[in-house]
Amino acid sequence: MIQLLSLLACSMAGQWDKAGTDPVADDSATDSADPADDTAVGDPTLVISEIMKDPDAVSDDYGEWFEVTNVGPDTDLVGLAVQGADGNGFVVDGALPVASGSEVVFAVSADTAANGGLAPDYVYDVADLKLSNEGGSLTLVVGDQPVDTVAWDNLPSVKGHAITLDPGALDPASNDLVESWCAAATPYGAGDFGTPGAANDSCEGAPRDSDGDGVTDADDCDPAEPDVYAGADELADGKDNDCDGWTDEQSPAPGSLVITEIMDDPDPTDDDSGEWFEILNVSRDPIELTGITVSDDRGESFGIGDVIVLEPESLMLFGASDDTSKNGGFVPDYLFDTQLFHLGNDADEILLSLDGVLIDGVAYDSDFPHQKGKSRSVDPIGMSSARNDDPAYWCEGDGDYGTDGNQGTPGGTNDSCP
C-alpha cells in the first residue's frame, strides 16, 4: 500500500497524505453530515451512486462492485484514486473516458460467469480494495482533492441488493444523507439486485432500513435501533435486542442453572405420567433456555426448542404429563416425552448442557435419599451446581401434593432437610 501511495503522489498534481486522517472525514452518509462539506474541495463532478458490497448469487471476492456517476462535463478518470476506510485502495492507471451524465462501473472481476453477470468499465484487485459487509466507506480523489465520500454504516443493507442512490440525489451533498439511499430492486445477471452502468432505481416507496441493521423497517421490531431486530444477540443494555419479549436475557453459563428436585419414582402414580424434575435460575440475569439439551449417560435426551426465559430465582418444572388426573396432580411448565428421556428409579443422571457445554448435572444413586412416592429434594443451602453433586445436601421430599399422596414440592420452595 505504501508503494501505491508513492505512485499516486508522483502521478497526480499535488500531494495526498494517506498517512493522515480521512481526507473528507465529515463527508459520510449519515444524518448528521453537513451537505456543504463537499463544496469546499473545488468543483466536484463525480458522485458515488451505487455500491454492491454483499452479493448473494456469487462470492464477494468476485461479485463486489461500485458505480460512479459523472455529473459534470466529459472527462477522463485516469489518475483517479479510490480509497477504502482501511486506507487501502487503487489508482486508475489508464485512460477511462466518461461522458457527462454517464456511469462508470468498477468491479473486482470482468468474468460475467463469476461476477454475477455485470460488465464493468474498470477492474481492480480485490486485494487492493475490499468492501466490508458491516460498514465501510469509499473516497474518490482527483488530483490532491477528495471529491466524494460515502460511508455505508447506516445505509440500507440487504444481502444480494446493491445500495443505490436515488436518481434525484445525484450530487456529493445529497448522497451524504441516509434517506437518499435504498436497497436496489432491479435484478441483474445471476439474480442479485442493482443497476450497474444504468440509471438507478427510484427510492420512492422502496423498502427502508433506517437503522442499517440489515432488516427492512417493515420487518424490524425497532427501525430506529440497529442492535434491535429478530435474531439479534441479546445484550445487557436494557433493550429487548432479539425481539422475543424479554429484556437482557442471557445464555446459560455453567452453574447458572441448578437441578433442585427430582421425582423419579412416584407412587401410586404411574412413572410415565408422574415423573418430574425442576431447575432453579441462581444467576442475577434472566436466562434463555432455548437450545438446552437434557440428557443422561445412556443416550436418552430431549431438547428445549421453544423460546423460554427463566427469571432470576425462578423455578422451571419439567413433567412427563400435564394431565393432572394422571400425573398425580401437578402442573408442569414444560413437558418431556418419557420415550425419549425417563428417570431411573435406582440410579440415573440429569445433565443440562448447551452446545456441548455442561451447565449442571446430577448423578443420583443409592447414596441419595430415596423412598417410593417421595421426591429427592435439595436442601436450600445446597442449591449450587457444586453442592447438589453431594448426597449430603439431599433428602426425601416432604409434604403431600396433588391427588395421589405423593410427597415433594413441585414448582415450589424446597423444604430444609432434617
The answer to whether the beta carbons of residues 83 and 138 sit under 8 Å apart is: yes
| 278 within 8 A of 260, measured Cβ to Cβ | yes
348, HSE (Cβ side, Cα atoms, 13 Å): 21
Please name the amino acid found at residue 190: A
258-269 per-residue burial string, b: 16 or more CB within 10 A, e: under 16: bbbbbbbbbbeb
pLDDT for the residue 234: 83
The enclosing H or E element of 2 equals helix 2-11
Q: What pLDDT does residue 52 have?
A: 98
Helix, strand, coil shares of the chain, percent, nearest 5, are 10, 25, 60
Query: In the structure grid, which three cell numbers stand for residue 398, read together?
Result: 416432604
37 and 103 inside one domain: yes
Confirm whether 223 is domain-assigned. no
What integer pLDDT is reported at residue 90 of this predicted model? Answer: 97
pTM of the model: 0.53
Domain of 189: which CATH number? 2.60.40.1260
- Side chain identity at 366, as an amino acid letter? S
24 within a domain of the structure (yes/no) = yes
Domain membership flag for residue 176? yes
Q: How many domains does the chain have?
A: 2
Give every CB contact of residue 142 below 8 A, 6+ residues apart in sequence.
46, 79, 80, 81
For 28, the 3-state DSSP assignment is coil
Q: Provide Rg for the chain, Cα atoms.
A: 32
> C-alpha 382: how far from its chain's center?
38
pLDDT the model gives residue 214? 73
What CA–CA distance (Å, rounded) separates 145 from 133?
A: 27
Domain of 286?
257-396
Asked, for residue 117, whether it belongs to a domain, the answer is: yes
Measured in whole angstroms, the distance separating CA 352 from the mean position of its chain's CA atoms is 25
- Per DSSP, the residues of 41-62 read GS---EEEEEEE-S-SSS-HHH
Output the CA torsion sign for 151, 152, 155, 160. Answer: positive
* One pLDDT digit (tens) per residue for the chain, 418 residues: 333 333 333 333 333 333 333 333 334 343 333 333 333 223 458 999 999 999 999 999 999 999 999 999 999 999 999 999 988 999 999 999 999 999 999 999 999 999 999 999 999 999 999 999 988 999 999 888 899 999 998 888 889 999 999 999 999 899 999 889 999 999 999 999 999 999 999 998 776 676 777 787 778 888 778 888 888 888 878 888 888 887 878 999 999 999 999 999 999 999 999 999 999 999 999 999 999 999 999 999 999 998 899 999 999 999 999 999 999 999 999 999 999 999 999 999 999 999 999 999 999 999 999 999 999 999 999 999 999 999 999 999 998 999 999 999 999 999 999 9
Q: Are residues 198 and 291 in the same domain?
A: no
Burial label, 113 (beta-carbon count in 10 A; 0-12, 13-18, 19+): exposed
Q: Based on the domain organization, do 29 and 160 belong to the same domain?
A: yes
Determine contact, residues 181/81, Cβ cutoff 8 Å. Answer: no
Cα dist from 313 to 68, 246, 267, 409, whole Å: 59, 16, 30, 16
DSSP of 269-286? S-HHHH-EEEEEE-SSS-
Residues 14 and 127 in one domain: yes
Taking the C-alpha atoms of residue 294 and residue 303, their distance in angstroms, rounded to an integer, is: 6
| 59 domain residue, yes or no | yes
Residue 402 located in a structural domain: no
Residues 173 and 277 in one domain: no
